[in-house]
Amino acid sequence: MENKVVDFCAIVVVLGIISAASGFAAEFTRVKADDVSIDDDSCVYPSSPALALGIISAVFAIITQVYISITFGACRCCGNDPHST
């Protein structure tokens, strides 16, 4: 039982670290106002990996939430409910 708890915590921590690290990386690589140039009444934005990193961060956060929900949801539905008829 303790081994399952350690495994669960390790998986959640690793997924959370990946999500946080990619989120911080997205923030650091975003396009700043100084990087945008204006040519003939149009703004030119340089390419940046910020969008992809932000999406990766969101996906890992969702995966973490789903993993936690499935793990605890499975424990809840298998237990005996004292209020069931």
**19 secondary structure, DSSP code:** H
- Boundaries of every domain in the chain: 2-77
Cβ neighbour number for residue 61 with a 10 Å cutoff: 17
Give tens-digit pLDDT for 28-83: 998 888 888 888 888 888 889 999 999 999 999 999 999 999 988 765 555 555 56
CA atoms of 56 and 60, how far apart (whole Å): 6
Whole-prediction pTM? 0.74
Backbone phi, psi, residue 30, to 5°: -65, 160
The tens digit of pLDDT for each residue in 5-16 reads 888 999 999 999
Q: Which residues contact 43 (CB under 8 A, 6 or more apart)?
A: 36, 37
40 and 2 in contact (C-beta within 8 Å)?
A: no
